[in-house]
């Protein structure tokens, strides 16, 4: 079975890691011959299994599929100018025309059994899209699948655009049951082709990586958050405020570490200084291997406004770290409230109350850790779901 995956890039990120994990899961099977077409590269390219054939887009496609901040970091004046020109052109002719013009130069004449657009378009942006368009118009395949990694309603998907985008796809695969239900409500005319495939995790690899080094000296209570530092979705800017609230209630015996990079890193660091909490919150930066930090922490905290099926929660549970998370649509599919973690509301007072209660109740934390140790995280359900989708082709 010949399968094509189409990706925007392999920068550090949850969707990219989910794709890497799936490739590691299926690439050992001889029945699958796997190609990848990625618009751009990134630090995770080295993690793609060696038996997967990888093709990368031309320079223009690479530049628009790479975050502008990353392009600027490389200090290539010519590339920066080209990226700015692309930003001007896309505003003049529109995203669809712009991507069509670029992608037709990469038309794939191979015939695939299955072609997969693994990145959903990001609404209300000129870039951060194109994989759906490429699979739809420039790939020959018996079946075409599109992955949906987020809550379409909370992410402000455009109804008319989605009806048009997904018309020619045979299956829309959501990463959680909650996302599936929301997508059916959003696109009821396509409910017959909406299904779920959970994200995969390289469980043994994560456990091994988590023991590679000792990341810090333990304090009385260590909290950790990991992700792209982008406040509109991930809301990392809540963390300095939460630290201030904790300190104001005489809770000082903790350290909160934040791992990741992104456009709001500097502003969040400045906010921590302004609020006088730089002694308890630490911005570690991006780590290729964050797992020792997660494993050595007492609690993993996710503050997101919305999520699909976040990789970081599964990773925390694999290394046996309890989770506190906001009540995004699929939170209950990963967290058994009060057993392997706690689910809280979205406002800062709700999150503060849950965190402070855990800090005052070490027995609760101990019980959650015991529960995680006794109930191991597995890929069994994701394997069953994916096999069902891939094997449809064999039954046609």
Q: Domain check: are 37 and 80 in the same one?
A: yes
Evaluate if residue 396 carries a pLDDT over 50: no
181: pLDDT strictly greater than 90 = yes
Do 44 and 171 sit in the same domain of this protein?
yes
d(CA 51, CA 199): 21
User: What pLDDT does 393 receive?
Assistant: 53
Are residue 83 and residue 190 in the same domain, yes or no? yes
| CATH assignment of the domain containing 130 | 3.40.50.2000
Per-residue H/E/C for the chain: CEEEEEECCCCCCHHHHHHHHHHHHHCCCCCCEEEEEECCCCHHHHHCCCCCEEEECCHHHHHHCCCHHHHHHCCCHHHHHHHHHHHHHHHHHCHHHHHHHHHHHHCEEEEEEEEEECCCCCCCCCCCCCHHHHHHHHEEEEEEEEEECCCCCCCCCCHHHHHHHCCCCCEEEECCHHHHHHHHHHCHHHHHHEEECCCCCCHHHHHHHCCCCCCCCCCCEEEEEECCCCHHHHCCCHHHHHHHHHHHCCCCCEEEEEECCCCCHHHHHHHHHHHCCCCCEEEEECCCCCHHHHHHCCEEEECCCCCCCCHHHHHHHHCCCCEEEECCCCHHHHCCECCCEEEECCCHHHHHHHHHHHHHCHHHHHHHHHHHHHCCCCCHHHHHHHHHHHHHHHHC
Q: Which residues pair with 211 in a beta bridge?
A: none
Q: What is the pLDDT of residue 124?
A: 67
Is residue 141 located within the same domain as residue 209? no
> What average pLDDT does range 142-168 have in this prediction?
92
State yes or no: pLDDT of 195 exceeds 80: yes
Whether the pLDDT of residue 194 is over 70: the answer is yes
Same domain, 346 and 386: no
Residue 395 has pLDDT above 80, yes or no: no
Amino acid 115: pLDDT: 97
304 and 391 housed in the same domain: no
Mean pLDDT across 275-281:
96
Q: What is the pTM of this model?
A: 0.82
pLDDT single digits (tens) 199-240: 999 999 999 999 999 999 999 999 999 999 999 999 999 999
Together in a domain, 242 and 367: yes
Q: How many domains does the chain have?
A: 2
Q: Are residues 210 and 131 in the same domain?
A: no
Report the chain's mean pLDDT, rounded to a whole number.
93
Task: Tell me, yes or no, whether 225 and 190 share the same domain.
Answer: no
pLDDT tens-digit map of 291-313: 999 999 999 999 999 898 899 99
Whether residues 38 and 124 fall in one domain: yes
Instruction: For residue 281, give its domain range.
Output: 203-374
Whether residue 149 is found in the same domain as residue 273: no
Say if residue 147 is in the same domain as residue 257.
no
Q: Give per-residue pLDDT as tens, 308-363.
A: 889 999 999 999 999 999 999 899 999 999 999 999 999 999 999 999 999 888 89
């Amino acid at each position: 079975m010949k399968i094509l995956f189409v990706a925007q890039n392999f920068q550090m990120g949850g969707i990219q890691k989910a794709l890497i994990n799936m490739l590691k899961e299926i690439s050992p099977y001889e029945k699958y011959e796997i190609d990848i077409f990625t618009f751009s590269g990134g630090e995770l390219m080295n993690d793609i299994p060696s038996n997967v054939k990888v093709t990368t887009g031309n320079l223009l496609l690479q530049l628009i599929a790479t975050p502008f901040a990353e392009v600027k970091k490389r200090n290539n004046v010519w590339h920066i100018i080209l990226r700015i020109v692309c930003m001007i052109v896309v505003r003049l002719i529109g995203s669809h025309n712009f991507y069509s013009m670029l992608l037709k130069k990469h038309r794939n004449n191979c015939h695939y059994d299955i072609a997969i657009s693994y990145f959903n378009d990001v609404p209300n942006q000129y870039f951060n899209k194109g994989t759906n368009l490429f699979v739809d118009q420039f790939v020959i395949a018996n079946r075409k699948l599109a992955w949906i990694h987020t809550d379409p309603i909370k992410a402000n998907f455009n109804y008319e655009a989605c009806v048009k985008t997904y018309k020619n796809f045979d299956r829309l695969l959501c990463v959680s049951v909650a996302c599936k239900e929301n997508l059916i409500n959003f696109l009821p005319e396509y409910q017959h082709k909406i299904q779920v495939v959970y994200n995969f995790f390289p469980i043994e690899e994560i456990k091994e990586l988590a023991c590679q080094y000792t990341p810090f000296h333990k304090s009385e209570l260590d909290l950790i958050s990991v992700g792209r530092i982008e406040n509109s979705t991930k809301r990392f800017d809540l963390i300095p405020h939460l630290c201030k609230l904790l300190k104001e209630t005489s809770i000082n015996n903790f350290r909160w570490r934040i791992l990741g990079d992104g456009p709001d890193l500097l502003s969040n660091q400045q906010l921590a200084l302004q609020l006088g909490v730089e002694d308890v919150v630490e911005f570690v930066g991006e780590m290729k291997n964050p797992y020792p930090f997660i494993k050595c922490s007492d609690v993993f905290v996710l503050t997101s406004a919305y999520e699909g099926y976040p990789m970081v929660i599964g990773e925390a549970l694999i290394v046996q770290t309890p989770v506190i998370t906001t009540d995004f649509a699929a939170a209950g599919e990963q967290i058994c409230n009060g057993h392997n973690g706690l689910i809280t509301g979205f406002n800062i007072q709700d999150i503060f109350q849950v965190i402070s209660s855990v800090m005052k109740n070490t027995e609760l934390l101990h019980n959650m850790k015991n529960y995680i140790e006794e109930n191991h995280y597995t890929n069994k359900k994701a394997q069953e779901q994916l096999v069902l989708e891939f094997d449809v082709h064999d039954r046609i």
